[in-house]
C-alpha cells in the first residue's frame, strides 16, 4: 500500500525499551498462554469445519503490511468486515466474549510485528481513509490492547478509537503500558465493549 504517512509516522517513535517490555511479558505468559491456546484450538476444531487460525493482512508500524493471527470465530467462508451474528460459531462466541480469539497474536508480538500495548492493527482500506493526523497512530507497532480498548472498544466509532490511539502514541511509556494492561483485565472480565461496531462509521463502510 502507499505509505503516505511514513514521514508523520516517525513523529513519536516507540519509547526506549518497549521491545524489552514486550519480550518480558511474553516470557511471563508463554506457558499459560500455550495451555489456554491449545484448549481454544481444540474447541474451534471440534465446533466447525475449517482452519483453526484465521489469517488476515493488516497494517502495522510505518504503514507496513503484515499477517495477523486469530482463532477462527466465524464459519470458514468469505465473511463481511463487520461481524454477522449468524456466521459466528458457538465456540467463537465464547472466544470473542473472553477475547481469547486474539491469543494467537502473541506470535505477532514475538515476531516483532505487534506490541503488547498499542493501537489495534487495522485494515488497509481503512488506513487509506486516514487524514495526515490519523496516520500518526502508525508511529508505533499495533498492540494486543490499548487505550481505545479500555475506553469503549467496539462500542465507539473508529474515529474515536483513533483519537485514543493518538493520545497513547504521544504519551506512551512503560508505566502507561502497565496501567493499560491492568485495566484490560477488568474489561475482559466484564465483557465491556465486546458488542458494538457502529455500522455508519466512515472508516468502516
Is position 195 within any domain?
no
How many secondary structure helices (H) and strands (E) does the chain include? 7, 4
What single DSSP character describes residue 71?
A: E
Q: Are 92 and 73 contacting, i.e. CB atoms less than 8 angstroms apart? A: yes
Number of domains observed in the structure of the chain: 1
Residues 74-130: tens digit of each pLDDT = 987 766 666 667 789 999 999 998 999 999 999 999 999 999 999 999 999 999 999
Cell 507497532, residue located: 141
Q: CA dist 46 to 13, 54, 97, 99, 155, Å?
A: 43, 16, 19, 19, 30
Identify the domain containing residue 32 by its residue range. 8-190
Residues 2-53: tens digit of each pLDDT = 444 443 444 678 899 999 999 999 999 999 999 999 999 999 999 999 999 9
Is position 143 within any domain?
yes
Question: Phi and psi at residue 75, in whole multiples of 5°?
Answer: -60, 150
Cell 495526515, residue located: 132
Q: How far apart are the first and last CA of the chain?
A: 19
Is position 3 within any domain?
no
Is position 89 within any domain?
yes
Q: CA dist 73 to 15, 48, 184, Å?
A: 34, 9, 21
Residues 177-193: tens digit of each pLDDT = 999 999 998 888 887 76
Listed in sequence order, the residues at least 6 apart from 70 whose beta carbon sits closer than 8 Å to its beta carbon are: 53, 54, 55, 56, 101, 102, 104, 105
Is position 90 within any domain?
yes
Listed in sequence order, the residues at least 6 apart from 43 whose beta carbon sits closer than 8 Å to its beta carbon are: 91, 94, 95
Is position 179 within any domain?
yes
Is position 202 within any domain?
no
Amino acid at each position: 500500500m502507499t505509505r503516505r504517512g511514513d514521514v508523520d509516522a516517525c513523529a513519536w517513535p516507540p519509547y526506549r525499551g518497549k521491545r524489552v517490555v514486550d519480550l518480558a511479558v511474553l516470557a511471563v505468559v508463554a506457558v499459560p498462554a500455550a495451555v489456554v491456546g491449545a484448549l481454544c484450538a481444540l474447541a474451534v476444531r471440534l465446533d466447525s469445519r475449517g482452519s483453526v487460525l484465521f489469517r488476515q493482512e493488516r497494517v502495522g508500524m510505518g504503514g507496513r503490511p503484515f499477517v495477523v493471527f486469530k482463532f477462527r470465530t466465524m464459519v470458514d467462508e468469505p465473511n463481511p468486515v463487520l461481524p454477522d451474528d449468524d456466521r459466528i460459531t458457538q465456540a467463537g462466541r465464547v472466544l470473542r466474549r473472553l477475547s481469547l480469539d486474539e491469543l494467537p497474536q502473541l506470535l505477532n508480538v514475538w515476531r516483532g510485528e505487534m506490541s503488547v500495548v498499542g493501537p489495534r492493527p487495522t485494515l488497509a482500506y481503512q488506513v487509506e481513509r486516514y487524514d495526515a493526523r490519523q496516520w500518526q497512530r502508525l508511529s508505533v507497532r499495533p498492540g494486543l490492547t490499548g487505550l481505545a480498548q479500555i475506553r469503549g472498544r467496539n462500542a465507539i466509532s473508529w474515529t474515536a478509537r483513533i483519537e485514543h490511539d493518538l493520545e497513547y502514541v504521544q504519551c506512551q511509556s512503560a508505566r502507561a503500558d502497565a496501567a493499560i494492561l491492568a485495566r484490560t483485565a477488568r474489561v475482559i472480565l466484564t465483557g465491556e465493549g465486546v458488542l458494538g461496531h457502529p455500522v455508519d462509521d466512515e472508516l468502516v463502510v
